[in-house]
């Protein structure tokens, strides 16, 4: 199977936050770019668009990105969402799933291959472990939606062996380059495509004393948690003023480095 027109929808996960590359739009690479690079190597006329914007909740993703994506007539669509929704203290998971179901059905009806994702198990990350229950419920909805519409499922909930310090960015919420590369491999494997990607070697996490860990947690809270809370209280988003990094189908070349 080969693809000629790949469109990625989603939030910061798909935009590539945590995997910086100043030479790219929005200064980010990410797993979707890595997948597109592999697909482009097999198809000279390949085009790739990435409409994802950080901070978007699932209804916003569907309202803002779905119609523009379909207008590009893609033959491959990846959709990731729900992470920013389950982080909120109040969320109607059944209503959220109904919107998602309708959207995946619309894409599948075009004949495009659709890839959807469960959310990684937050029990592995002490920062967000409190949302584990509603994440599990949302993920079961995603599995049902994938089955109903014949979508390809990347089940991140079942991806074990993660070491948070090795695959997460310093904000402890977004994947780093090692994590994004791992997701790219998972997506290509789920599509049944041969590829040259191999796991990246993580930087060894330092061993911290209790006092050092406490200081690191305080620094993290000041630099990342406090701004996040402030945005929630003021109704702002990290995606305010951010445009999609690749709003139209365009070629993408594979970099020299992994």
**Assigned domain for 179 exists:** yes
Q: What does the pLDDT read at residue 108?
A: 98
CA 249 to centroid of chain Cα atoms: 19
Helix (H, G, I), strand (E, B) or coil at 204: coil
H or E segment and range at residue 36 = helix 30-42
**Assigned domain for 48 exists:** yes
**Assigned domain for 255 exists:** no
**Assigned domain for 131 exists:** yes
**Assigned domain for 256 exists:** no
Segments forming the whole domain that contains residue 227: 5-250
- Write out the chain's pLDDT in tens, 258 residues: 789 999 999 999 999 999 999 999 999 999 999 999 999 998 989 999 999 999 999 999 999 999 999 999 999 999 999 999 998 878 999 999 999 999 999 999 999 999 999 999 887 666 667 889 999 999 999 999 999 999 999 999 999 877 777 887 777 678 999 999 999 999 999 999 999 999 998 876 767 677 766 776 666 556 655 565 666 556 666 767 799 999 999 999 877 567
The CATH number of residue 157's host domain is 3.40.50.1110
Q: Total domain count for the chain? A: 1
Q: What does the pLDDT read at residue 255?
A: 77
Q: What does the pLDDT read at residue 231?
A: 60
**Assigned domain for 258 exists:** no
The total number of residues written for the chain in this structure: 258
Q: What does the pLDDT read at residue 236?
A: 67
**Assigned domain for 214 exists:** yes
Let me know how many helices (H) and strands (E) the chain has, helices first.
Answer: 10, 6
**Assigned domain for 89 exists:** yes
- As a whole number of angstroms, the distance between CA 37 and CA 197 comes to 10
């Amino acid at each position: 199977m080969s693809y000629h027109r790949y469109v990625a929808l989603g939030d910061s996960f798909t935009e590539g936050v945590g995997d910086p590359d100043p030479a790219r739009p929005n200064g980010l690479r990410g797993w979707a770019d890595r997948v597109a690079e592999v697909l482009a190597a097999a198809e000279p006329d390949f085009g790739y668009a990435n409409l994802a914007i950080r901070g978007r909740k699932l209804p916003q993703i569907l309202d803002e990105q779905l119609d523009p994506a379909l207008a590009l007539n893609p033959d491959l669509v990846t959709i990731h969402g729900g992470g920013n929704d389950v982080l909120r203290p109040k969320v109607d998971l059944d209503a959220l799933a109904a919107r998602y179901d309708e959207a995946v059905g619309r894409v599948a009806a075009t004949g495009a291959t659709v890839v959807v994702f469960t959310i990684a198990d937050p029990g592995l990350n002490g920062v967000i472990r409190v949302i584990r229950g509603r994440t599990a419920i949302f993920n079961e909805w995603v599995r049902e939606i994938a089955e109903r519409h014949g979508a390809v499922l990347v089940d991140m909930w079942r991806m074990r062996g993660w070491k948070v310090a090795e695959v997460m960015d310093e904000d402890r919420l977004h994947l780093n380059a090692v994590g994004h590369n791992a997701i790219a491999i998972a997506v290509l494997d789920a599509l049944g495509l041969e590829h040259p990607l191999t796991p990246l070697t993580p930087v060894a996490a330092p061993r911290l004393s209790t006092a050092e860990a406490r200081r690191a947690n305080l620094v993290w809270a000041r630099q990342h948690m406090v701004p996040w809370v402030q945005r929630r209280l003021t109704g702002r988003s990290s995606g305010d003023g951010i445009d999609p990094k690749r709003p139209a189908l365009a070629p993408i070349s594979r970099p020299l480095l992994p």
